């Protein structure tokens, strides 16, 4: 009789532990989802800001058609990739970031533009949006790291395996050309 | 992973309990000296503490902001400041953007209030807004946001209420002793020498209690400052920003008009710091600025572990400042490059102009630009319909 009670007791304890771990995993997964939503908000904000920027810049930058078109193209491409996975999307957004950086770098050559209040306000919003993107990416990647650790570590990995928790994908932004090592030729 | 910092506040909790013990002690002594009954004194101490806690919990923020003369701003008042706060909110993973207040004061300082992250606010002086570039401002805001994130604000509120209660009780106790002491000692003279000794000890303890409580208060506050610096470096990935902001703050000579002893630990740097004088270790609410700068500048990466490493180099191995649970989750993070902002002269005047425009606007002044280029500031109490430009004599409609 005692043996039966002991077994029941052990089962109940295991069940309680199982539920506790499961709930904690759900909490972490939600944090990852929430962090992803944060990135999404900022990326959308950037899509919205770019047309305004182009409209303001158009009148001043007569000789930068190529740079401007690159930004518009990168923006549209990134927007098309919006429903893709974290990895692919990060790549498209990285391209957009570098195209924008190139555009904002040539602004230095246009003093009139730099004095335009509208442009200055837009520049602040764009700079801040870029920062917010990288800060939300930081937070997202930290959340993913924490969540993935739990999925892989004992004992939570058993619970995760049984209930189908999948590892999160990191959002690594490095434009393709930045990632390539510079070619050095010895000729 | 930063909420882990919260779960390891054992040392702070022990210190708070220490202050609580001092409060009990002073209540007990009050009872012995004035009522011949320890319980009476304890009840009075508890009542005073209870009332102050309730007021502090529900009204503390508005009292503090009101005392500092802080004004709330929105995104359009100062987009850059608002954006920076929002950036740090995202980096720290806070759920809500704290309210943002500006204090019209040329001194360089900032503080955070709020009993919970949902009801938090950060306040910075207009001087700071004017003198710092984007990266530096980000470092300072990161420091304040981490006070909110780490729940330091609540901890400091609890301890400052305890301290306030102890100070008030001790103050009244000594006053009453001088006024009513004669009658009391005549009555007790029949009680024998033993009671007089107890009385003397009690008086000494009542005088010492606020000093002891203050030392504990300072110890708690200093530790949280290091932690907030470490978190700010982690959020911004750029410790140099905070370091150079601290350098500017250290170099400025103006003292904050609106700070007082109780609110001092809320600020980024000690508002009562005297120029050219290193505060002694025990009686300072903040660690020496030069040391904070040195640690930030020596960081090899942006993680909490990097900060801990440098801190131990300065203070000796084993005297860490980052809780072990937070250290265990710390992973290598690299530093980022400086922001693109050039600190040209032209930029500085522009920033000064923006800040002063903002302060006038927050004071409900109307700004009219006359045709001759003169800017006229019309106070809210002005009732007329036109105002004459003192420069060219044109009449401008209000």
Per-residue pLDDT tens over the stretch A52-102: 888 888 888 777 788 888 888 889 888 888 777 777 788 888 888 888 888
Most confident of A9-18, A92-101, A172-181, B366-375: A9-18
Cis, bond preceding A155 (omega within 30 deg of 0): yes
* H or E element that contains B123: strand B121-125
Q: Could you read off the pLDDT of A100-126 as tens digits, one per residue?
A: 888 888 887 888 887 888 888 888 898
Minimal CA separation from A47 to chain B, in Å = 18
Q: Among all chains, which residue has been given the structure tokens 């944090």?
A: A31
Residue B387 in 3-state DSSP?
A: strand
Catalytic residue among B3, B87, B136, B144: B144
Q: Among all chains, which residue has been given the structure tokens 């103050």?
A: B171
- List chain A residues with CB under 8 Å of B83: 124-125, 128, 131-132
Minimal CA separation from B75 to chain A, in Å = 11
Minimal CA separation from A174 to chain B, in Å = 14
Give the up-direction half-sphere exposure of residue B396: CA atoms within 13 A in the CB hemisphere. Answer: 21
Calpha distance B238→B231 (Å, rounded)? 11
Mean of the pLDDT values across residues A169-176? 66
* Total number of domains in chain A: 1
- List chain A residues with CB under 8 Å of B96: none
* Minimum Cα–Cα distance from B350: chain A residue: A115
- Is the backbone of residue B194 left (phi > 0), alpha (psi -120 to 50) or beta? alpha
Residues of chain B that touch chain A, judged by Cβ-Cβ distance less than 8 Å: 1, 79-80, 83-84, 86-88, 90-93, 134, 235, 237, 329, 331, 336, 339-340
The whole-number pLDDT of residue B225 equals: 86
CB within 8 Å: A35 and B87 = no
Tell me the β-bridge partners of B124.
Answer: B102, B110
Tokens matching residue A113: 């533009």
The answer to whether the beta carbons of residues B300 and B232 sit under 8 Å apart is: no
- CA–CA–CA angle B305, A171, A74 (5° rounding): 135
The answer to whether the beta carbons of residues A90 and A172 sit under 8 Å apart is: yes
A183 located within any domain: no
Minimal CA separation from B93 to chain A, in Å = 7
A187 located within any domain: no
Q: Domain ranges for chain B, please list them.
A: 3-329, 365-398
A97 located within any domain: yes
Residues of chain A that touch chain B, judged by Cβ-Cβ distance less than 8 Å: 31, 35, 38, 42, 104, 121, 124-125, 127-128, 131-132, 134-136, 138-139, 142-143, 145-146
Mean of the pLDDT values across residues A178-186? 45
Residue B286 in 3-state DSSP?
A: coil
Of B80, B86, B91, the CB nearest to A139: B91
The whole-number pLDDT of residue A173 equals: 63
The whole-number pLDDT of residue B99 equals: 92
CB within 8 Å: B79 and A131 = no
Q: Does the ipTM surpass 0.90?
A: no
Buried b (16+ CB within 10 A) or exposed e, A142-178: bbbbbbbbbbeeeebbebbeeeebeebbebebebeee
In this prediction, the residues of chain B whose per-residue pLDDT falls under 70 are 1-11, 178-195, 253-286, 317-320, 324-330, 338-347
Helix-helix angle B38-68:B10-30, to 10 degrees: 120
CB within 8 Å: B80 and A124 = yes
Of A127, A134, A139, the CB nearest to B93: A139
What letter does residue A83 receive in the DSSP assignment?
G
Of A124, A136, A143, the CB nearest to B90: A136
What letter does residue B172 receive in the DSSP assignment?
H
Q: Give residue A172's Cα distance to chain centre.
A: 7
Of A121, A127, A142, the CB nearest to B1: A142
The whole-number pLDDT of residue B137 equals: 92
Q: Could you read off the pLDDT of B143-157 as tens digits, one per residue?
A: 999 999 888 888 888
Residue B368 in 3-state DSSP?
A: strand
The whole-number pLDDT of residue B363 equals: 77
Residue with the larger pLDDT of the pair B178 and A159: A159
Residue with the larger pLDDT of the pair A4 and A174: A4
Nearest residue to B269 (alpha-carbon basis) of B143, B84, B113: B143
CATH code where residue A20 lies: 1.20.1440.20
The whole-number pLDDT of residue B179 equals: 67
Residue B308 among the catalytic residues: no
- The model scores a pTM over 0.80: no
Mean of the pLDDT values across residues A169-184? 54
* H or E element that contains A35: helix A2-58
The whole-number pLDDT of residue A13 equals: 94
The whole-number pLDDT of residue B303 equals: 82
Calpha distance B115→B118 (Å, rounded)? 8
């Amino acid at each position: 009789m005692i043996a039966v009670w002991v077994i029941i007791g052990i089962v109940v304890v295991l069940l309680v532990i199982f539920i506790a771990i499961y709930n904690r995993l759900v909490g972490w997964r939600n944090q990852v989802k929430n962090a992803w939503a944060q990135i999404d908000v900022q990326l959308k904000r950037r899509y919205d800001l770019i047309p305004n920027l182009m409209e303001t810049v158009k009148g001043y930058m007569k000789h930068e058609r190529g740079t401007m078109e690159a930004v518009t193209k990168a923006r549209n491409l990134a927007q098309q990739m919006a429903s893709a996975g974290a990895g692919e999307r990060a790549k498209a957004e990285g391209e957009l970031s570098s195209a924008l950086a190139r555009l904002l770098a040539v602004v230095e050559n246009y003093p009139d533009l730099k004095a335009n209040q509208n442009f200055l306000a837009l520049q602040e919003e764009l700079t801040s949006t870029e920062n917010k993107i990288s800060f939300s990416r930081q937070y997202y990647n930290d959340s993913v790291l924490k969540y993935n650790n739990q999925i892989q570590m004992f004992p939570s990995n058993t619970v995760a395996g049984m209930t189908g928790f999948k590892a999160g994908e990191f959002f690594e932004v490095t434009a393709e050309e930045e990632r390539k090592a510079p070619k050095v030729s010895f000729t | 992973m930063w909420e882990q910092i919260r779960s390891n506040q054992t040392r702070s909790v022990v210190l708070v309990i220490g202050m609580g013990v001092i409060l009990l002690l002073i209540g007990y002594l009050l009872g012995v000296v004035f009522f011949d009954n320890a319980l009476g004194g304890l009840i009075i101490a508890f009542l005073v503490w209870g009332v102050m806690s309730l007021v502090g919990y529900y009204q503390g923020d508005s009292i503090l902001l009101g005392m500092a003369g802080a004004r709330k701003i929105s995104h359009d008042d100062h987009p850059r400041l608002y954006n920076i706060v929002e950036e740090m909110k995202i980096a720290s993973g806070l759920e809500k953007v704290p309210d943002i207040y500006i204090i019209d004061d040329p001194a360089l300082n900032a503080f955070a209030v709020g009993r919970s992250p949902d009801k938090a606010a950060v306040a910075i002086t207009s001087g700071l807004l004017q003198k710092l570039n984007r990266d530096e401002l980000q470092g300072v805001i990161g420091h304040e946001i981490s006070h909110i994130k780490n729940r330091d604000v609540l901890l400091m509120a609890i301890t400052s209420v305890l301290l306030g209660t102890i100070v008030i009780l001790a103050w009244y106790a000594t006053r009453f002793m001088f006024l009513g002491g004669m009658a009391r000692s005549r009555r007790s003279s029949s009680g024998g020498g033993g009671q007089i000794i107890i009385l003397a000890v009690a008086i000494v303890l009542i005088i010492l209690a606020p000093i002891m409580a203050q030392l504990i208060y300072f110890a708690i506050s200093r530790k949280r400052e290091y932690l907030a610096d470490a978190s700010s470096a982690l959020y911004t990935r750029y410790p140099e920003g905070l370091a150079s902001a601290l350098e500017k703050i250290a170099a400025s000579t103006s003292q904050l008009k609106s700070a007082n002893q109780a609110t001092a630990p809320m600020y980024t740097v000690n508002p009562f710091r005297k120029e050219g004088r290193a505060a002694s270790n025990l009686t300072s609410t903040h660690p020496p600025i030069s040391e904070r700068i040195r640690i930030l500048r020596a960081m090899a990466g942006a993680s909490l572990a990097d900060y801990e490493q440098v801190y131990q180099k300065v203070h000796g191995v084993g005297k860490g400042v980052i809780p072990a649970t937070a250290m265990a989750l710390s992973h290598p993070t690299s530093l980022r490059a400086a922001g693109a902002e050039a600190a040209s002269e032209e930029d500085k005047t522009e920033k000064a102009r923006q800040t002063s425009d903002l302060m006038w606007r927050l004071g409900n002044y109307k700004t009219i630009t006359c045709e001759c280029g003169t800017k006229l500031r019309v106070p809210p109490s002005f009732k007329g319909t036109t105002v004459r430009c003192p420069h060219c004599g044109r009449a401008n409609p209000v």
